[in-house]
Chain A
């Protein structure tokens, strides 16, 4: 339905997402009323090559977490396909899907909520191993848990402790160890450092980069923080109201944004080198406020009501993601002229 943003043409993608959509039917306004449709994810295409980090940025409600859950096959899409190593995950029977799951694992934002406080680290980290026929016996499982803990910089002795004995950063290491224990090829990380203190955040980001380099791990890295995404991601997609509005190499998109929404995000992010207080003295009137969350929509560009560049066409016709550069795409009628 729109331009596919392949990672590199030469390598076959590990993850290939095509036309993915998740629409929710909301309660009708009245008993006889029509049920409005909320398009949380609305036709998204992208691919992630082995060993690459694909970043997804957007504000709350833009659909980025729903997208992560769809990729993990934790939620069923209402349209489109998720191909992992060429295999359509959603066409698989439940048991076959469960076996495939050791190839792709997930790390969540909150290292307090995502670890069971009543279980030892050994049990938490070892849990996904039931997906792996190669780790049936206890001795092997113990070895794999030790290996996963060592891989994230924790000691084998930590396996006997409980989550409350660790700091936030160490807990996130435990969550990463749990994701690594099945030796996956892809990790979906949904805001993995957002709950961490700055000094600890850098440790976890470096760890993720090390894992990529050591094991050729691919990451789908979901975050609201542009600086973090720019730091880790090879490629990035900017999401707004369920759609990708801009894609390309992370360094390009976050330096020379083509879509006005990307520009708005970049401008809003605090910048140590140019404090906003000083920047805005020179700036024009602020654009009209409107949340980035998905809402039942009619025709036209979803960003048009907030967009300083919107023209008649933007309100009438929904822009599709179109290639602009060798390697970049933006869903904006005016993207070419404003570059």
Chain B
């Protein structure tokens, strides 16, 4: 259903254009969930924005984004607009900024229905549909909440409204960019449960983007790990977490404090660390982008950008020339 190949996003700066996403390919089938994990500056949000055609003006995307066989990157704005909203829904980290503060939440859900199905549905039918959606995302007492403004709701309720807006037209794909990062852990669990139920009930595909490996492992069948604008590893989530092949994925897993002292290698009560920080776009080291922080880097790593390979079978890709020896 979604097939991205060779995607690159470049941003124009006074010093020339800088690539913030490079050579990303992925595919996502209906009913499947794909997790995209990475730190700030990894390009994961740019990947999401490129997919829905919402990149900032200074950015431009190249490559192919096939959605139901149609290349979104060559569509004109009007045609893209019909796909976006109706076929692809998106939710963001901070629902307060995604929602209109001056419009009741019920009307915001109904707005999308009216906009995309204009002639076929009346205002009243759109509102009835909005109310059904509020029930669906488990807003308690939806009838009364319909006329509430976003500021009157809690963060978790607002995110439910944002999900209802995204679901209004029954999208085939939902992109969730850090959907629970601003929420408390118990509210996060409720929102993730809701998304999981929606995927199972509607058969839509979910692309969930997070910096939190825990959220990814809770939600995603497959995981794509991004570093400094590139995919460094992709495969089944359980496989990635159990047998990480890229030194960056391994580093993330052992830097993560885990309850019960499992996983993360704790030496004298200390966590493993990845030295340094993610390099800024435009200040990348030569060769593999992770060399400056990688404990296994050699001269050949610095000699050239490693290619995307699948040494462990077609289902598990990695961008590291030493992947086999490191996992042996």
Contact = CB atoms under 8 A, between A and B. Distances in A.
Nearest to B215: A270
Contact of B257 (A59, A169, A205): A205
A197 B178 CA distance: 13
Interface of A: 59-60, 167-170, 197-203, 205-206, 209, 224-228, 230-231, 254-255, 264-273, 275-277, 280, 286, 289, 291-292
Contacts of A265: 185-186
A272 B258 contact: yes
B262 interface: yes
A273 B273 contact: no
Nearest to B213: A272
Contacts of B213: 198, 270, 272
5 contacts: A59-B184, A202-B256, A226-B259, A270-B213, A272-B256
Interface string B18-34: 00000000000000000
Contact of B258 (A199, A206, A227, A277): A227
Given A199-B39, A231-B257, A280 B214 contact: no
A254 B256 CA distance: 17
A-B pairs, 6 with minimum CB distance: A270-B214, A268-B189, A199-B274, A231-B257, A202-B255, A197-B39
Contacts of B218: 270-271, 275-277
A267 B185 CA distance: 9
Contacts of B211: 197-198
A258 B211 CA distance: 31
A206 B278 CA distance: 19
Contact of A169 (B190, B258, B270, B277): B277
Contact of A277 (B185, B190, B196, B259): B196
Contacts of A276: 189, 192-193, 218
B16 to A, nearest CB: 22
Contacts of A292: 184, 186
B258 A200 contact: no
Nearest to B185: A268
B271 A231 contact: yes
B192 A59 contact: no
B40 interface: yes
Nearest to B40: A197
Contacts of B185: 59, 224, 226, 265, 268-269
Contacts of B262: 273
Interface residues of B, number: 47
B277 A291 contact: no
B83 to A, nearest CB: 29
A146 B141 CA distance: 59
A251 B188 CA distance: 24
Contact of A273 (B192, B258, B271): B258
Contacts of A269: 185, 189, 214, 259
Contact of A224 (B184, B252, B263): B184
Given A224-B184, A230-B259, A203 B192 contact: no
Given A265-B186, A273-B262, A202 B193 contact: no
A272 B217 contact: yes
B306 to A, nearest CB: 20
Interface in B149-207: 154, 156, 184-190, 192-193, 196
Contacts of B273: 199, 202-203, 206
A255 B261 CA distance: 11
A209 B270 contact: yes
Contacts of A199: 39, 251-252, 255, 273-274, 277-278, 293
B269 interface: yes
A314 B184 CA distance: 25
Nearest to B140: A289
Contacts of A273: 258, 260, 262-263
A41 B266 CA distance: 35
Nearest to B275: A203
Given A205-B271, A275-B218, A227 B257 contact: yes
